[in-house]
């Protein structure tokens, strides 16, 4: 499924980019050279339309809008879970796109556009997307809103040179995908890891009376298994108990 969506997105981007450029030139939707732009010749506007279509259309196949209304009406109700991250990203990106498209044609004042961005970021945070950098819900929500608005405007400010914004986005996406792939390939399932550690600990305890006594004491105290394994490991590494193998 992921490969199919990637192919659809790739083909849409290749096909729509020249089409949008042709329409922009025909309608004279152009960015002409100025002090705040590094273009040496008139450049077509609305390139973000092709980018959003290539991103939004394939992602739409994974969106479940039925999750939104129950969460809005009763977010803490029984059996109601937050919308999927895919749904939240699609809605947030779509609203940001509409806001940016409106600004291209109507030239919204900067402070008005900033208020709109904060509202969209707040909605995304309300729907359950947060950074989880801190334990405080209020602080984490505030940081999430600032992060979304900050990243959005950072890319917007980069868009003063052909290919710069898209190039930075490509580099960032490549690093994130590479990092995620490495993390997944190196990750050990917690349950299998715990089972192996318990098997090793039991094998050692079968030959050591003091460890068996200590383990039984921890077990009677209902200490979590992972903590028991960690305690045994620490004792072995610190050589606080002799091993009689």
Structure-token match 């999750």, residue found: 67
Residues 122 and 205 in one domain: no
Residues 78 and 163 in one domain: yes
Contact present, 91 and 127 (Cβ < 8 Å): yes
Contact present, 188 and 196 (Cβ < 8 Å): no
pLDDT in tens, 177-224: 776 654 434 343 444 544 555 555 555 555 556 656 666 666 666 666
Q: Six-digit token pair at 36?
A: 């705040």
> Does the pLDDT of residue 225 top 60, yes or no?
no
Residues 179 and 218 in one domain: no
How far apart are alpha carbons 183 and 191 in whole angstroms?
17
Residues 12 and 98 in one domain: yes
Residue 59 falls inside a structural domain: yes
Residue 243 falls inside a structural domain: no
Please give the residue range of the domain that contains residue 156: 2-186
Residue 136 falls inside a structural domain: yes
pLDDT in tens, 132-153: 888 888 999 999 999 999 998 8
pLDDT in tens, 76-105: 777 677 788 889 999 999 999 999 889 888
43-44 and 30-31 beta bridge pairing: antiparallel
Residues 107 and 139 in one domain: yes
Residues 118 and 25 in one domain: yes
Residue 245 falls inside a structural domain: no
């Amino acid at each position: 499924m992921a490969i199919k969506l990637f192919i659809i997105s790739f083909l849409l981007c290749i096909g729509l980019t020249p089409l949008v450029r042709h329409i922009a030139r025909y309608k004279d939707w152009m960015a002409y050279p100025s002090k705040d732009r590094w273009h040496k010749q008139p450049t077509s506007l609305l390139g973000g339309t092709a980018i959003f279509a290539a991103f939004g259309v394939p992602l739409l196949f994974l969106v479940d809008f039925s999750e939104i209304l129950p969460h809005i009406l009763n977010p803490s109700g029984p059996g109601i879970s937050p919308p999927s991250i895919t749904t939240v990203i699609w809605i947030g990106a779509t609203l940001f796109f509409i806001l940016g498209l409106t600004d291209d044609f109507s030239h919204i004042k900067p402070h008005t556009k900033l208020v709109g961005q904060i509202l969209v970021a707040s909605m995304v945070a309300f729907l359950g997307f947060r950074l989880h950098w801190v334990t405080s819900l209020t602080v984490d929500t505030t940081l999430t809103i600032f992060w979304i608005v900050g990243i959005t405007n950072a890319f917007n400010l980069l868009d003063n040179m052909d290919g710069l914004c898209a190039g930075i986005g490509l580099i960032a996406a490549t690093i994130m995908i590479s990092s995620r792939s490495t993390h997944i390939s190196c990750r050990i399932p917690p349950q299998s890891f715990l089972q192996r550690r318990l098997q090793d600990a039991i094998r050692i305890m079968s030959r050591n009376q003091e460890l068996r006594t200590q383990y039984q004491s921890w077990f009677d105290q209902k200490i979590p298994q992972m903590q028991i394994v960690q305690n045994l490991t620490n004792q072995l590494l610190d050589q606080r108990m002799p091993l009689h193998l």
